[in-house]
Amino acid sequence: MGFLLMSARELQKIAVLAQVLGLSQRQVQRLVRDVRVDGAVAVRHKLLGRASNNRISDLKRDYILSLIRSDYPAFGPTLAAEKLAERHGIRVSSESLRQWMMAAGLWQSRTQRRQVHQPRLQRAPQPALWPSPCPAREPASTGQSARLAAQRHPLHPRSAAGRREPHRPFRAPEVPSRRQ
């Protein structure tokens, strides 16, 4: 919704307020009356900070969790909700059951269940596989890696000294023709 430019006089009109708020005129009249009596607190929800009217009692919740502990300890919340409805006639949503089971420590989500593997110990640095071409110039002293020093060795397959000729396709030697 964009900005509305209205005068203070227009804002006093119930019909205009109802249209702006998307409410009926009767509802706006009730809100205006409550704001005049109670102040801004009248606009907030009345159940704020209190339990829901549809909340399942703690006694029933504890009974359901004891059933899960005894009969279905390895079940996830969805299957446990199905079995409770099928065998015991207790209907509870799988989401409520999931939250209860997590709070009671009976179930963990897949990310929480994930096992952390033991990290491998760091291996000690290995000496270069190929000897340095010049013992006076070690790779560590010049800042070069052992891989680059090894590539400079004449026996290394990628070194310039041990490089083979590039592959060329086979061509048959030219045979002189018999025509003369």
Lowest mean pLDDT among 22-31, 76-85, 137-146, 161-170: 137-146
Q: Pseudo-torsion of CA 93, 94, 100, 106, nearest 10°?
A: 150
- Tokens 């000690």 -> residue: 124
Question: Given this model, what pLDDT does residue 139 score?
Answer: 47
Helix intervals (H) in 39-137: 58-71, 77-83, 94-104, 110-113
The full set of domain ranges for the chain reads 8-43, 58-105, 132-158
Both tokens of 34, joined, read 């409550």
Q: Once rounded to an integer, what is the mean pLDDT over residues 130-148?
A: 54
C-beta separation of 55 from 99 below 8 A: no
Give the count of beta carbons closer than 10 Å to the beta carbon of residue 6. 12
What DSSP designation does 12 have?
Answer: T
pLDDT of residue 149: 60
Lowest mean pLDDT: which of 14-28, 45-59, 134-148, 154-168? 134-148
Q: Does 142 or 56 have the greater pLDDT score?
A: 56
Residue scoring higher pLDDT (2 or 65): 65
Q: Which two tokens stand for residue 31?
A: 């809100």
Please list the alpha-helical segments (H only) found in 114-173: 139-142, 146-151
Would the pLDDT of 31 be above 60?
A: yes
Instruction: List, for residues 35-81, the tens digit of each pLDDT value.
Output: 889 888 888 888 888 888 889 999 999 999 999 999 999 999 999 99
Whether this prediction's pTM lies above 0.85 is answered by no
